[in-house]
Structure 1
Amino acid sequence: MADTFTQIYIQIVFAVQNRNAQIHRDWEEELFKYITGIVQNKGQKMLAINGTSNHIHFFIGMKPTCCLSDLVREVKKSSDAMVKGKGFTSKKFKWQEGFGAFSYSHSQLGNVIHYIENQKEHHRKKTFEEEYLAFLKAFEIEFRDEYLFQWFDD
């Protein structure tokens, strides 16, 4: 019997909405583990996850049956509830609307994983806004400024 064989690798990026309720280093690891669990429970493979106080990146091996928008919606909704439920911040924590998703070939896995693992060092030289706009340009994605994230740089 024939089967379906795929290699689909996607990097997802999204941002925190409220500048006063950002991701703190003392609880980010628990957040990243929680998000990893959501991704794995949805049958996808987490390859890397990291971020800074104002945004996160995660990189997955995605099955063709996965609806990316549904996955990201569930990650945001559930992780938002987890942050609130654990009382990680006294401010109103919420993810901004929308996300970026960028696809890669198998030959790029190592580079993308390394990039995500080194987010904090990377952002000492480049803001989130500069990084995100560079992704949109490199992937030749048309966009309108009014539909981009609100930029809260460290």
Structure 2
Amino acid sequence: MAENNTYTQIHIQLVFAVKFRQALIQNEWKDDLFKYITGVIQNRKHKLLSINGMPDHIHILIGLRPNQSVSDLVQEVKSISSKWINENNFIPFRFEWQDSFGAFSYGKSQINDVIRYIENQEKHHYKKSFREEYVDFLEKFEIDYNEKYVFKELI
């Protein structure tokens, strides 16, 4: 067996929304969804550190392994979880995630704060909308963005 001497410490917070930011994730099945997504991430050998969200979006903090790109992982999580939601008929029409996502990196010293932030989503959203929260992330991380493409809403 070949020796593996690749060592990494890559912490990424993933943020993505329900298509058109519709509030479709229900409390009755939210925890099961989070457990299902946790399994998808762990089956790909990444480490799930925290997951939580609101009816229209979720936050996931992971320890990313270098064997898969962030984009490929998010695509798999969205694809597999939306299929699971639809197969379980949790909503009376087709569930979809928004095409886009956010991925934000953190150092080890920041992890506990990020976990606390994710665990307290309900509290944060008393004060600000998901859109405001997301734009704050983009600005904090100095990411250039076009306002027109920040999570499309149903018109």
Place the TM-score, normalised by the shorter chain, in its bin: over 0.9
Distance in 2 separating the partners of 1:60 and 1:18: 25
Partner of 1:145: 147
1:77-116 Cα shifts (integer Å, max 9, x gaps): 0000000000111133110111000000000010000000
What TM-score comes out, normalization by structure 1 length? 0.93
The alignment status of 1:121 with 2:130, answered yes or no, reads: no
Point out where structure 2 has 5 or more consecutive residues left out of the alignment: none
Partner of 2:79: 77
Point out where structure 1 has 5 or more consecutive residues left out of the alignment: none
* The one of 2, 5, 17 aligned to 2:7: 5
Counterpart residue identity of residue 22, structure 1: L
What TM-score comes out, normalization by structure 2 length? 0.93
Instruction: Give the 4+ runs in structure 1 shifted more than 2 A.
Output: 18-21
The alignment status of 1:48 with 2:50, answered yes or no, reads: yes
Count residues with an aligned counterpart: 152
Amino-acid identity (%) = 50
Distance in 2 separating the partners of 1:133 and 1:75: 23
1:112-136 Cα shifts (integer Å, max 9, x gaps): 0000011111111110011000000
Q: Which moved more, 1:44-53 or 1:82-91?
A: 82-91
Alpha-carbon RMSD across the aligned residues, in angstroms, is 1.5
